[in-house]
Structure 1
């Protein structure tokens, strides 16, 4: 992977790359929501707890596909409340390498599949050694 965090002439970034070039087998991870392994919602009203659960679910899905958070090339983050952006950045920064951040899109949405969900994240990653 090659990260283009801030190519000449592009605007400043906060924890993401403007572009990521890569080769290898791709892993597409469906939108992960704040539910535990038994399907129970986690962190009602607590954005940080929900984001932590989403990252745990992302990790599980990526590892099952032979990848990991360090191999994510693109995240799409859906937040129902932009006041949760600080919590997202805090948890994101605990899980990703600041020197090699993925490309990222942030979308404010009116709601998610469950009314208590504040966040959903999907990802594209490389599966090293596959393909």
Structure 2
């Protein structure tokens, strides 16, 4: 995997790469929302708790597909309130290598499938070859 965090002439970044290249199999992870394994909402009015649960769900899905957060090449983040951006960045930075961040898009949306959801994140990841 090769990360192009800030190529010559590209604008500054904050925790993401402008592009990421990789070889081998890829997995697409559906948008993950802040519900636990029993389907219960986590952190009704707490953006950081919701982002933490979403990252836990991403990790679970990636692990099932034979990979992990270190191999994520692209995230798409949906926030219902851009005031939650700082909470997202805090949690994101705990889960990714600052030297090798994935490409990322962040979109503010009017709402998600459940009105109490504040965040949804989908991912594309490289599936490393077994060693």
TM-score (norm 1): 0.98
Where does residue 4 of structure 1 map in the other structure?
4
Where does residue 64 of structure 1 map in the other structure?
64
Where does residue 24 of structure 2 map in the other structure?
24
Where does residue 108 of structure 1 map in the other structure?
108
Structure 1 alignment gaps of length 5 or more: none
Partner Cα separation in structure 2 for residue 27 and residue 105 of structure 1: 18
Q: Tell me the number of residue pairs that the alignment of Structure 1 and Structure 2 aligns.
A: 130
Deviations 1:84-105 (A, max 9, x none): 0000000000000000000000
Q: Tell me which stretches of 4 or more aligned residues in structure 1 moved more than 4 Å.
A: none
Q: Aligned runs of 1:1-131 on 2, under 5 Å?
A: 1-129=1-129
Partner Cα separation in structure 1 for residue 128 and residue 93 of structure 2: 23
TM-score (norm 2): 0.98
Structure 2 alignment gaps of length 5 or more: none
Secondary structure of the equivalent of 2:16?
Answer: coil
